[in-house]
């Protein structure tokens, strides 16, 4: 009977690729941020997205199996002054009324050594999806994980601000910075 149980366990492990199932993690929103910056009118302008949610499946022993989905409410972007916010979420740029969400789909993490990883993801804005690869720092302590990283997008690849006089006054590169804290469920 014991040999049968061991055989069944071995077959189950082989059927699942030999790995335990990755664990779900909950984002700690109060300790997490998603910011952006862009050069415009001779200076750098920063903003923060206030409304978003994230679902993470992560196995510290198999980071390449990590998956995450972050859905950002486009209209929640806050910049200073308020006129910049209205322009950024308006029809010439993010067009929040027509495209209310930005999706970020993390597909894997490749270990680079220590707490450094290369993140492979797709970003979808205004109905256009583009791949991004960027370095992240990921530290796991007990049931808490802290991830920080940044990537740069070319806004024109998403059809953002590509017409009118504003196109020439706003930089094409937008830097997105993430600082996420998650707790094992």
pLDDT of amino acid 1: 47
Tell me the longest C-alpha to C-alpha distance in the chain: 77
Give the bridge partners for 67, in sequence order. Answer: 57
Q: What is the pLDDT of residues 76-124, one digit of tens each?
A: 999 988 888 999 999 999 999 999 999 999 999 999 999 999 999 999 9
Cα 131 from Cα 177, distance rounded (Å): 16
Q: What is the pLDDT along the chain (185 residues), one digit of tens a residue?
A: 444 433 333 333 333 444 456 789 999 999 999 999 998 877 889 999 999 999 999 888 888 899 999 999 999 999 988 888 999 999 999 999 999 999 999 999 999 999 999 999 999 999 999 999 999 999 999 999 999 999 999 999 999 988 877 777 888 999 999 999 999 98
Per DSSP, the residues of 110-151 read EEEETTEEEEEEEEEETTEEEEEEEEEEEEEETTEEEEEEEE
């Amino acid at each position: 009977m014991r040999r049968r149980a061991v055989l069944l366990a071995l077959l189950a492990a082989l059927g699942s690729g030999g790995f335990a199932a990755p664990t779900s993690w909950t984002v700690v929103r109060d300790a997490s941020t998603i910011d952006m910056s862009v050069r415009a009118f001779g200076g750098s302008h920063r903003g923060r997205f206030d409304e978003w949610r994230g679902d993470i499946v992560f196995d510290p022993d198999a980071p390449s199996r990590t998956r995450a989905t972050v859905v950002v409410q486009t209209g929640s972007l806050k910049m200073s002054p308020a006129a910049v916010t209205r322009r950024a979420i308006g029809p010439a740029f993010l067009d929040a009324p027509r495209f209310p969400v930005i999706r970020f789909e993390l597909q894997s993490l490749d270990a680079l050594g220590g707490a450094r990883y290369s993140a492979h993801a797709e970003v979808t804005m205004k109905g256009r999806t583009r791949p991004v690869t960027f370095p992240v720092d990921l530290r796991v302590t007990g049931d808490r994980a802290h991830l920080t990283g940044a990537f740069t997008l070319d806004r024109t690849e998403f059809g953002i601000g590509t017409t009118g006089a504003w196109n020439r006054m706003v930089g094409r590169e937008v830097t997105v910075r993430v600082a996420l804290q998650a707790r094992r469920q």
